[in-house]
Structure 1
């Protein structure tokens, strides 16, 4: 009887430790997210399941073209691509991205641009048109969805403060046949 009670107690302790570890890991290090909608197509599909790395941005800041998850208005989390960093001026002209007056290639959009019904794929704009800023303020990023014609992003909600960024999302783990690093 004492042996069975001792073994049960060990199992209970093991389960409690496992649960605590799972909660800590999910809260502070990594978390799953489900892509909701088409705003990141073709890079990410609706219902893709991804892992968000929450610790990376505690020791560094987002890089240009990172795919990030952030807290957005209406208590939702959005997933978008970082386009502009603090101090950058951003504009689109003739479907070309210019950052600080330098043209940037966006290879991840090439196939989707060719299939888009409406051209240009990304309409002309300057950062100031949507944000009121000539350059991105310190501690903020400018984000866009890869599906530029169907994305609610910094053109609608403004620049994103670093403290609203949850983490970097670049590992798709579901569906299994689509497991990949998304860049």
Structure 2
């Protein structure tokens, strides 16, 4: 009987250690490596829909056109937007053509379906200087825009985003299941 009790006690202790180890690993991964986030709103349509669930990598290197989740400047929420300008970049929009550092980019990801046919453009003309007072994106900041420009509050409205407010980069949409997608 004593041997059975000792064996059961060892089994119980091993399960407790396994569960605690699993919880610690899950906490460390969520805190420092990746985190799930629920998309709110229509600012990134057609790339993301309201209530999409995404996995955000907290260890990714930031690149132009990445989708980043960051602490909202004036709310206790997180926003997701597309990185347009990195530190040192110049940014300009003219006649719906994005120009970064003198190079024009075609923005195939921008939602043009909701456009009013009487409107000339999806994105108003601007320069970084007009919006932020800066000629280039300063060190420690990024310039972001939503893909649904007509319904997005972004750097055009609240200015540059501090890099230290970024939670991470969207790497995977996991819900809804029929729209699972890996973003590279």
TM-score, L = length of structure 1: 0.91
Which entry has the higher C-alpha Rg, 1 or 2?
Answer: 2
Q: Which residue of 2 aligns with 1:162?
A: 163
Note the alpha carbon deviations across 1:94-127, whole angstroms, 9 max, x for none.
1111112321111112xx3144224411111111
1:35–1:94 Cα change, 3 Å: same
Give the whole-Å Cα distance in 2 for the aligned partners of 1:158 and 1:46: 24
Give the whole-Å Cα distance in 2 for the aligned partners of 1:49 and 1:116: 26
Contact 1:29-1:54 at 8 Å conserved across structures: yes
TM-score, L = length of structure 2: 0.90
Give the match's secondary structure for 2:112. Answer: helix
After the TM superposition, which residues 49-60 of structure 1 pair with which residues of structure 2 at under 5 Å, given as runs?
49-57=53-61
Give the whole-Å Cα distance in 2 for the aligned partners of 1:29 and 1:114: 36
Q: Which residue of 2 aligns with 1:32?
A: 36
Q: Which residue of 1 aligns with 2:46?
A: 42
Structure 1 residue 53: Cα displacement: 0.5
Q: Which residue of 1 aligns with 2:70?
A: 70
RMSD: 1.4
Note the alpha carbon deviations across 1:39-95, whole angstroms, 9 max, x for none.
0000111111111010123xxxx1110111111222221110000111211111111
- Size of the aligned set, in residue pairs, is 177
Give the match's secondary structure for 1:143. Answer: strand
* Ranges in structure 1 where 5+ consecutive residues have no aligned partner: none
Contact 1:35-1:47 at 8 Å conserved across structures: yes
Moved over 4 A (4+): none
* Ranges in structure 2 where 5+ consecutive residues have no aligned partner: none
Contact 1:43-1:182 at 8 Å conserved across structures: no
Give the whole-Å Cα distance in 1 for the aligned partners of 2:179 and 2:12: 41
